[in-house]
Amino acid sequence: MNKSHLAYTATLLTVTGITVVSLLYVMIPLTPYVISEFSVTPIQAVWASSIFSMAFALGNLFFGTLSDRVPKKRLILAGLILLAGCTLSVEMAASFTPFLLLRALQGFLAASFPPVALAYVSDVIPPAQRPNVISYLSCGFLLAGVIGQIFSAEVAANWGMKAVFALLSFLYVILIVLSFWLPKDRPNAERPVSGAGVFEVFRTLVRIPALLVTYGAAITILMSFVAMFVGLNEFAVQHLHLTPDRILWLRLISMLGMMCALFSGSWIRRFGPVRVLVGGFLTAAAGLAGEAALLNVHMAMFSAATVIFVAGIAAAVPSIISRIGMLGSAGRGMALALYGFFVFVGASLGPILAAALMPFGFAALCGTLSVIMLAAAAVMAWSAKQSTDDQRLDAVNS
């Protein structure tokens, strides 16, 4: 693959990832519009986001497993085509129940991109450049959390809620056309073609202790990311008395930490995914501890601590994906599908954790999350050491 084709592939996958994963977050600013449009309570309106997340987590399992059996480019194109149609249908929903059902279908179809794209990168991108492209994709997935909210808030303010989905469906059509120029991939002849074969791959993966530990660590990543920002939003409104525009700027400033993901590929090649992952967890823990300590001291220093936290998360995501890709090479598509499932289960737990801890204060939330990050770092370091020791023992015995 020449440099221009590599750049085209990496850029298109990253932009597509941002646009697709943004669907997870576009409903956050749209909750008042949902309440007004369908005459529902705030608790009912929240289901427009929750049902999407649940379907998205399940869709990761389905499409990630399917990517081990069919060409990934074809699966990406089919998923985008169906997602474009479904997103346009969401825009045309006339009542709340069809709206919810279509949001669930939208979440399921949106999951056709992240796990398949990550497996696709492992198939078509040269090994030397693979960590960089995974880093760009990971950065895009995280940036979607802010870009999706900005996009939906601005579009809805000017043209209404339904325009958000109409415009997104139009963007998906453009991405479909551009995706025809992605390099082709071929399904591996050794991959399973039957349900029994898929089950065997699953059994193989769950027998890898280091992989199971990594999945456990994956839950903490978006759980901490979402919980911190949910708590930050409540703290900014109730205690800092910031306007929505200033809250948005605070989030944008924190996204400076995303720049860390752009360097993660070279760090992974130099130090290995485990060291970068552990470093990311430790950095995130330090940022959270800083937020807890500085929230009533100085706003600029508090914002800097938030940037440090986001930087740690941005370093952890591509490194944990690389780690899972290496450990689950026997069934990379399913291994990444399970990663997608666990990481978005963590995202679903984030608001619950924030709601449980915010009555004790934002510092209590950040302190608890910091301890969770430290525990994840310790477990990952221990697991990697155990794997290395087991490999050395096997070498001696052989």
The better pLDDT of the pair 228, 80 is held by 80
Answer yes or no: is pLDDT of 175 > 80.
Answer: yes
Burial code of 100-128, b = ≥16 C-beta within 10 A, e = fewer? bebbbbbbbbbbbbbbbbbbbbbbbbeee
The better pLDDT of the pair 81, 324 is held by 81
**Residue 282 pLDDT grade (very low, low, confident, very high; cuts 50, 70, 90):** very high
CA dihedral of residues 50, 377, 361, 248 (deg, nearest 10): -60
CA distance 66 to 4: 30
The better pLDDT of the pair 171, 91 is held by 171
What is the mean pLDDT of the segment spanning 327-348? 79
What is the mean pLDDT of the segment spanning 318-335? 81
What is the mean pLDDT of the segment spanning 364-383? 94
What is the mean pLDDT of the segment spanning 135-156? 84
According to the model, what pLDDT value does residue 159 have? 92
Could you read off the pLDDT of 40-61 as tens digits, one per residue? Answer: 887 777 778 778 888 898 898 8
CA distance 370 to 390: 30
Q: Which of 3-7, 71-75, 137-141, 376-380 has the lowest mean pLDDT?
A: 137-141
According to the model, what pLDDT value does residue 28 have? 74
The better pLDDT of the pair 123, 188 is held by 123
Decide: 173 and 167 in contact? Cβ < 8 Å. Answer: no
According to the model, what pLDDT value does residue 170 have? 96
Q: Please report the domains of the chain, with CATH numbers, ordered by start residue.
A: 3-181 (1.20.1250.20), 200-397 (1.20.1250.20)
According to the model, what pLDDT value does residue 279 have? 95
One-character DSSP codes across 25-80? TTHHHHHHHHHHHHT--HHHHHHHHHHHHHHHHHHHHHHHHHTTTS-HHHHHHHHH
CA-to-CA dists, residue 227 to 51, 151, 152, angstroms: 18, 21, 21
Could you read off the pLDDT of 209-260 as tens digits, one per residue? Answer: 889 999 999 999 988 988 888 788 778 777 777 776 777 777 788 888 888 8
Torsion over CA: 178, 181, 183, 189 (sign): positive
Residues 6+ apart with CB under 8 A from 398: none
Decide: 284 and 312 in contact? Cβ < 8 Å. Answer: yes
According to the model, what pLDDT value does residue 25 have? 81
- Which ranges constitute the DSSP H helices of the chain? 3-21, 27-38, 42-66, 72-91, 96-110, 114-124, 130-159, 161-179, 195-206, 209-238, 244-254, 259-271, 273-294, 299-327, 332-357, 362-397
What is the mean pLDDT of the segment spanning 269-284? 93
Could you read off the pLDDT of 8-30 as tens digits, one per residue? Answer: 999 999 999 999 999 988 887 78
Decide: 82 and 61 in contact? Cβ < 8 Å. Answer: no
The better pLDDT of the pair 55, 328 is held by 55
